[in-house]
C-alpha cells in the first residue's frame, strides 16, 4: 500500500494538510481526514474566500458551496448557495450519507442543515464587510475603465472580479489505498445571488474514483464547469496520463475553449492525485498557484506549473 498523502489548494491549504496528514498516518479514512482539513480553513476568518469570513455576494450575503466524494463507491454529496451554515463541507457529507440525493441548494439545504443539528450563525465579519465594500468600489471603477491586454497575456491583472477569491480543495489518499476529496468555498466575491460555481458540482470542482485518481479545481467556476474539469482530469489519468500531465491537459483545454470563444481566459488551477500517491498541479499563466503537500510527516508548499499562450 502507498504511504498516506494529502494535497490542498493555495497557501491556506498548509493548514488543511497539517490537520489531515496526522489523521491519515493514524489510519483514518481519506474522507475524514480531508474533511477535517477543509474545516480548519472554513473556520478561519482570515481566509476571505471560504466559510466564516468569506466575502459576500452582490447583496452583501455570504452564500457557501461545497461538495465531498469518496473513491471506493463513488459516494458523493454537495450543497450550494447555503446561508448561515459555516461547515458546508460537513453538510455536503450529510447529503451523501443521509439522503438519496447528491445536491441540495439554497433554503432546502439550509433546512436540511437545521434538521441535522447544524447551528445557523452569522458568516460575515467586520473585515469581510470591509473587503466587500472595497471590492464593490473596485468593480465599479473596473467597469468604467477600458480593458488592457498585453500580447500573450491571457489573464490581464485586475480584469476579473475573481481576483479576490479562491477555493480550498483537499485530496487525500489513506492507508487502505482509498482516495477522497473535499471542496468548499464562498465563491466569487460579489457574485449574483443564487450563482452556483464549480465547487459544489461533482465532476467540475471535484471528482474521485479509486480506479483512476482524484482531481479538484480552484479558480473561476464558470470556466471550470464549462470543461467539466475534474472529471476530465480523472478520465485523462484513467487513459494513462500522469496526474501532472492530466492537470496540464485540463489547462490546455481551458485555454483552447477560451480562444474558441474569443474570450480572455479567467484564472483556473487544478490538482490531481492518483492511487499510487503521485500528484500534479497546473494553472493558467499569471495565476501563481501554490499548493500544499503532506507526506511522510512533513508539509511543504509547492508551486504549480503555469501554462499560457506560448
Ligand atoms: N471556484 C469557486 C467558484 O467559482 O465559485
Q: Which domain holds residue 88?
A: 5-143+150-307
* All cell numbers assigned to 249: 491537459
pLDDT band at 1; cut points 50, 70, 90: confident
Give the pLDDT band of residue 264 (cuts 50, 70, 90): confident
CB 78, CB 49: distance < 8 Å: no
- What pLDDT shows up at residue 142? 76
Q: How far is CA 120 from CA 104, 114, 256, in A?
A: 17, 7, 43
Separation of alpha carbons 66 and 164, rounded Å: 18
Q: What is the CATH number of the domain that holds 269?
A: 3.60.20.30
Which H or E run contains 33?
A: helix 30-42
pLDDT at position 194 over 70: yes
- Ligand 1 close to Cβ of residue 216 (< 6 A): no
DSSP per residue, 135-178: HHHHHHHHHHSPPP--TT-SS-TT-SGGGG---EEEEEE-TTS-
Contact 39, 157 (CB under 8 A): no
Instruction: Please report the pLDDT score of residue 234 as a whole number.
Output: 98
CA 262, CA 94: separation in Å to the nearest integer? 41
pLDDT of 145 over the 90 cut: no
Prediction pTM value: 0.93
Ligand 1 centroid–CA 222 distance in Å is: 8
Q: Is the CB of 33 under 6 A from ligand 1?
A: no
For residue 152, pLDDT beyond 50: no
Q: How far is the CA of 72 from the centre of ligand 1 (A)?
A: 26
Number of domains in the chain: 1
pLDDT given for residue 144 in this prediction: 67
Query: How far apart, in whole angstroms, are the C-alpha atoms of residue 46 and residue 133?
Result: 16
pLDDT at 166: 84
Element spanning 231, H or E: helix 229-238
Average of pLDDT values for 48-68?
94
Q: What's the mean pLDDT when you consider all of the chain?
A: 92
Tell me the mean pLDDT in the region 17-24. 98
Task: Return the C-alpha torsion angle 223, 7, 201, 193, nearest 10.
Answer: -70
The confidence band for 193, taking pLDDT boundaries of 50, 70 and 90, is: very high
Q: Which of 48, 79, 168, 224 to mutate to test the pocket of ligand 1 (most atoms within 8 A of CB)?
A: 224
Asked if pLDDT for residue 51 goes beyond 60, the answer is yes
Please give the order of strands across the beta sheet that includes 64-70. Answer: 103-105, 76-82, 64-70, 179-185, 168-173, 5-9, 290-295, 298-303
Query: Average pLDDT for residues 280-293, to the nearest whole number?
Result: 94
pLDDT of residue 65: 97
| Each residue's pLDDT tens digit, 158-174 | 444 445 458 999 999 99
Cα–Cα distance, 198 to 288 (Å, whole number): 20
Please state, in angstroms and rounded to a whole number, the distance separating the CA atoms of residues 254 and 267.
10
Q: Is the CB of 167 under 6 A from ligand 1?
A: yes
Q: Mean pLDDT check: name the lowest of 185-189, 197-201, 299-303.
A: 185-189
Block residue for cell numbers 500528484: 279
pLDDT at 148 (0 to 100): 54
d(CA 92, CA 103): 8
Residue 284 among the catalytic residues: no
pLDDT-derived band at 99 (thresholds 50, 70, 90) equals: very high
Looking at the predicted structure, is the pLDDT value of residue 11 above 70?
Answer: yes
Which residues are registered as beta bridge partners of 303?
290
Q: Report pLDDT for 140.
A: 82
pLDDT in tens, 207-257: 999 999 999 999 999 999 999 999 999 999 999 999 999 999 999 999 999
Amino acid at each position: 500500500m502507498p504511504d498516506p498523502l494529502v494535497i490542498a489548494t493555495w497557501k491556506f491549504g498548509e493548514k488543511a494538510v497539517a490537520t489531515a496528514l496526522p489523521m491519515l498516518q493514524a489510519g483514518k479514512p481519506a474522507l475524514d481526514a480531508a474533511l477535517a482539513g477543509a474545516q480548519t480553513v472554513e473556520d478561519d476568518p482570515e481566509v476571505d474566500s471560504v466559510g466564516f469570513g468569506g466575502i459576500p455576494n452582490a447583496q452583501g450575503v455570504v452564500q457557501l458551496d461545497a461538495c465531498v466524494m469518496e473513491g471506493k463507491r463513488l459516494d458523493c454529496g454537495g450543497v450550494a448557495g447555503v446561508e448561515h451554515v459555516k461547515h458546508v463541507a460537513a453538510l455536503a457529507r450529510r447529503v451523501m450519507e443521509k439522503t438519496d440525493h447528491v445536491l441540495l441548494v439554497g433554503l432546502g439545504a439550509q433546512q436540511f442543515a437545521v434538521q441535522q443539528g447544524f447551528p445557523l450563525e452569522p458568516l460575515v465579519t467586520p473585515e469581510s464587510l470591509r473587503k466587500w465594500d472595497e471590492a464593490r468600489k473596485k468593480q465599479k471603477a473596473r467597469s468604467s475603465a477600458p480593458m488592457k491586454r498585453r500580447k500573450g497575456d491571457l489573464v490581464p491583472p485586475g480584469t476579473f472580479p475573481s481576483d479576490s477569491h479562491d477555493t480550498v480543495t483537499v485530496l487525500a489518499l489513506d492507508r487502505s489505498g482509498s482516495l477522497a476529496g473535499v471542496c468548499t468555498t464562498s465563491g466569487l466575491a460579489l457574485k449574483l445571488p443564487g450563482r452556483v460555481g464549480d465547487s459544489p458540482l461533482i465532476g467540475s470542482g471535484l471528482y474521485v474514483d479509486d480506479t483512476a485518481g482524484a482531481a479538484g479545481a480552484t479558480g473561476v467556476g464558470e470556466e471550470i464547469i464549462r470543461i467539466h474539469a475534474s472529471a476530465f482530469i480523472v478520465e485523462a489519468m484513467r487513459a494513462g496520463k500522469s496526474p501532472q500531465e492530466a492537470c496540464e491537459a485540463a489547462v490546455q483545454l481551458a485555454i483552447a475553449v477560451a480562444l474558441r470563444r474569443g474570450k480572455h481566459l479567467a484564472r483556473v488551477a487544478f490538482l490531481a492525485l492518483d492511487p499510487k500517491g503521485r500528484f500534479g498541479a497546473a494553472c493558467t499563466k499569471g495565476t501563481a498557484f501554490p499548493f500544499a503537500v503532506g507526506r511522510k510527516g512533513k508539509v511543504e508548499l509547492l508551486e504549480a506549473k503555469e501554462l499560457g499562450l506560448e
